[in-house]
Amino acid sequence: MVRLFAALLLPAAVPAILTALIWALPGDPAEIICPRASCEATDALAARWHLDEGPWGFYTHWGRAALAGDFGMSWRVLQGVPVSEMLAGAVPMTLVLLAAALLPVLAGAVGAGSGFLPRRADGSLHVAGLVPAVIFSLFFAAVIALRFGGNSFGEEATLWRLVFGAIVLSVADGALAGAVGGVRALFRTERKQRYVQIAALRGEGMLENVLPNVAAALAGQLRARVLHLVSGLVVVEVVLKIDGLGDLLWSGTLKQDFGVVLAAATGFAAVSAALLLAQAMLEIAVALHIRRAPRVAAAVSA
């Protein structure tokens, strides 16, 4: 219930909190474009962008328009371009990058849970995870610039940016090592439980006994891993110049393009909310499954 409530609240709360934060930052976008000392229409520009209504007024105006699908125009990041158009380009890019980075993480988690991935691999993964994402990203960014030159933003270079981005995201900062280690520890602890050992003595499969009991914890871990990847997205997208939500959030903040910042942050909040919802659904499903008195009980009574 808490997760469901949080999931519904996040997309509205994050932009509200961000509005308060960006309002507290020094600088006013209207004054950057039209400085009072050399331009007399600063107030008119502020009024056009609802900056004269205070943070609450700005937020409510932005929220109402966003609900109607109107995110306004970019003020500074890409002056004159509808923010919705920028989002439409950025969201698929971020989702592809995220999915590509999640694949090795999931594969590692499955390998660790099933015992397919040997424990001796953990050390290597841990060492690779010590390298910060920014170092890997800078290296790959230079490789792309030198390899592709003027075609650095062509199709092929963009594909390579995504591939390198996914590798960096999944390996750097301990994402893969954390997933493997976390799942391995969870299964190891669960396998030591008495009910699992009894089930093993009865000749039942290990996984079918353990999985329902660790499913909720696994979902929690998976959500944490995805959030780990999402938080790394900004660095990877900015340094590797991938036109995703993270890059949009960064450039919007840097240029005080409030509409872009709020839209990008709402995108991230929506991802987080979706994950919370998925976790809540899985927990409900597991609870229902356990209440259904599974086959183990039937076997005992027989």
Name the residues that contact another protein, by CB under 8 A. 26-28, 30-42, 44-45, 48, 72-81, 86, 89, 92-93, 96, 141-142, 145-160, 162-163, 241, 243, 255-256
The nearer residue to another protein, 154 or 294, going by C-beta atoms, is: 154
Amino acid in position 76: R
Contact 249, 268 (CB under 8 A): yes
| The token pair that represents 128 in the structure block | 């690779």
- Tokens 């594909």, located at residue: 159
Element (H, E) at 289: helix 258-291
Residue 253: name the closest of 61, 19, 87, 10 by CA.
19
Round to whole Å and give the CA distance between 123 and 177. Answer: 8
Cα angle 34, 55, 43 (rounded to 5 degrees) comes to 25
State the minimum distance, in angstroms, from the CB of residue 62 to another protein: 14
State the minimum distance, in angstroms, from the CB of residue 265 to another protein: 18
User: Is residue 274 classed as helix, strand or coil in its secondary structure?
Assistant: helix
The nearer residue to another protein, 159 or 281, going by C-beta atoms, is: 159
State the minimum distance, in angstroms, from the CB of residue 181 to another protein: 29
The nearer residue to another protein, 96 or 211, going by C-beta atoms, is: 96
Per the DSSP assignment, residues forming a β-bridge with 82 are 73
The nearer residue to another protein, 141 or 175, going by C-beta atoms, is: 141
State the minimum distance, in angstroms, from the CB of residue 5 to another protein: 33
The nearer residue to another protein, 173 or 257, going by C-beta atoms, is: 257
State the minimum distance, in angstroms, from the CB of residue 263 to another protein: 14
Amino acid in position 255: K
The nearer residue to another protein, 73 or 261, going by C-beta atoms, is: 73
- Tokens 């015992």, located at residue: 115
CB atoms within 10 A of CB 99: 12
The nearer residue to another protein, 16 or 107, going by C-beta atoms, is: 107
State the minimum distance, in angstroms, from the CB of residue 69 to another protein: 18
Amino acid in position 181: G
Contact 196, 210 (CB under 8 A): yes
- Tokens 């280690």, located at residue: 181
Amino acid in position 150: G
State the minimum distance, in angstroms, from the CB of residue 177 to another protein: 25
The nearer residue to another protein, 81 or 200, going by C-beta atoms, is: 81
User: Is residue 140 classed as helix, strand or coil in its secondary structure?
Assistant: helix
Cα angle 97, 272, 247 (rounded to 5 degrees) comes to 45
State the minimum distance, in angstroms, from the CB of residue 216 to another protein: 33
CB atoms within 10 A of CB 118: 9
